[in-house]
Amino acid sequence: MAGKILAANWKMNTIPADGVALVSEILNQWPDNHRAHTIICPPFTHLAFIAELLKNKPSFSLGAQNCHHEKKGAFTGGISVDMLKDLGVEYVIIGHSERRHIFHESEKDITSKVQRVIQAGMHVIFCCGELLKYRKQGLETSIVESQLKSSLGALSDTEMKQVTIAYEPVWAIGTGETASPQQAQNMHKTIRHWISKQWNNDIADKCSILYGGSVKPGNAKALFMQTDVNGGLIGGASLNAQDFKAIYHAMI
């Protein structure tokens, strides 16, 4: 059975001191009977500081928001998977819609990043999702399946076990719009079915599929009640400890 995961994607927000304060507040408020895994993905500048806070916290992991697709070299401003791993990072978000559409990352680059993270023994949070124009055309399934096939399709059974998938309808990210619980369930079910066909039922059943797209305390419970929604990739609401805690409780 897929594990429940709540991942916080802070994006380009907070300075390190504020990030440390936020994680400290979260840790102080979190229940002792952890029934889900929590991943904190701050900006690169925060990683070393937050890694210290998360030591000996088995229900928490440190994540990064991106990595470079090359192992090392003359890539000014790049961050390699080895650099991240050395800081204690266990998860890396790959293929986020903002990386795809704002930074124009290609499918080739995204696929290379997936491979780098897996080769380093780390876990991928692979993002997929459609633009509003494609949903209006009824093409959302073909778009998502194309993204999955392009970057994950060549993975082995063992490698796929290092992947968590986050479905993020692009039209619902930072817009205040949210996919309805049924829309989320339909796509999550489609993704799980695709995994089952590509690999097998066991891998599909154990793959955590998260929903990302304007999740808030007010809509979290209805989303997380859906059979194939195993948690969330949370953006803005993860910057508020009270909201993030409320979303966590809605999940468990």
pLDDT in tens, 196-248: 999 999 999 999 999 998 899 999 999 999 999 999 999 999 999 999 999 99
pLDDT in tens, 1-26: 899 999 999 999 999 999 999 999 99
d(CA 147, CA 101): 14
Q: Looking at residue 31, what is its pLDDT?
A: 85
pLDDT in tens, 159-206: 999 999 999 999 887 777 778 999 999 999 999 999 999 999 999 999
**R_g over Cα of the chain:** 17
d(CA 63, CA 21): 17
Q: Looking at residue 162, what is its pLDDT?
A: 98
Quick check: 40 pLDDT over 80? yes
- Name residue, tokens 């897929």: 2
Q: Looking at residue 51, what is its pLDDT?
A: 98
**Average pLDDT over every residue of 107-117:** 97
Q: pLDDT class for 35, splitting at 50, 70, 90? A: confident
Q: Looking at residue 179, what is its pLDDT?
A: 87
Q: Residue 91: beta bridge partners? A: 63, 123
Q: Looking at residue 69, what is its pLDDT?
A: 96
CATH code of the domain in which 161 resides? 3.20.20.70
Domain count, the chain: 1
Active-site residue flag, 68: no
Active-site residue flag, 96: yes
CA dihedral 250, 96, 124, 249 (to 10 degrees): -10
pLDDT in tens, 45-66: 999 999 999 999 999 999 999 9
69, 145, 168, 188: which is the annotated catalytic residue? 168
pTM of the prediction?
0.97
Range of the domain at 50: 5-251
**Average pLDDT over every residue of 21-33:** 91
SS3 of the chain: the string is: CCCCEEEEECCCCCCHHHHHHHHHHHHHHCCCCCCCEEEEECCHHHHHHHHHHHCCCCCEEEEECCCCCCCCCCCCCCCCHHHHHHCCCCEEEECCHHHHHCCCCCHHHHHHHHHHHHHCCCEEEEEECCCHHHHHCCCHHHHHHHHHHHHHCCCCHHHHCCEEEEECCHHHCCCCCCCCHHHHHHHHHHHHHHHHHHCCHHHHHHCCEEECCCCCHHHHHHHHCCCCCCEEEECHHHHCHHHHHHHHHHHC
Angle at 89 between CA 199 and CA 236, to 5 degrees: 90
Q: What are phi and psi of 65, to 5 degrees?
A: -85, -10
Quick check: 27 pLDDT over 90? yes
96, 105, 123, 140: which is the annotated catalytic residue? 96
Q: Looking at residue 225, what is its pLDDT?
A: 97
Quick check: 32 pLDDT over 90? no
Q: Looking at residue 177, what is its pLDDT?
A: 77
**Average pLDDT over every residue of 65-77:** 97
pLDDT in tens, 130-162: 998 999 999 999 999 999 999 999 999 999 999
Q: Which amino acid is at 243?
A: D
Residues 50, 248, 187, 189: is their CA dihedral positive or negative?
Answer: positive
Structure tokens at 38: 């929590």
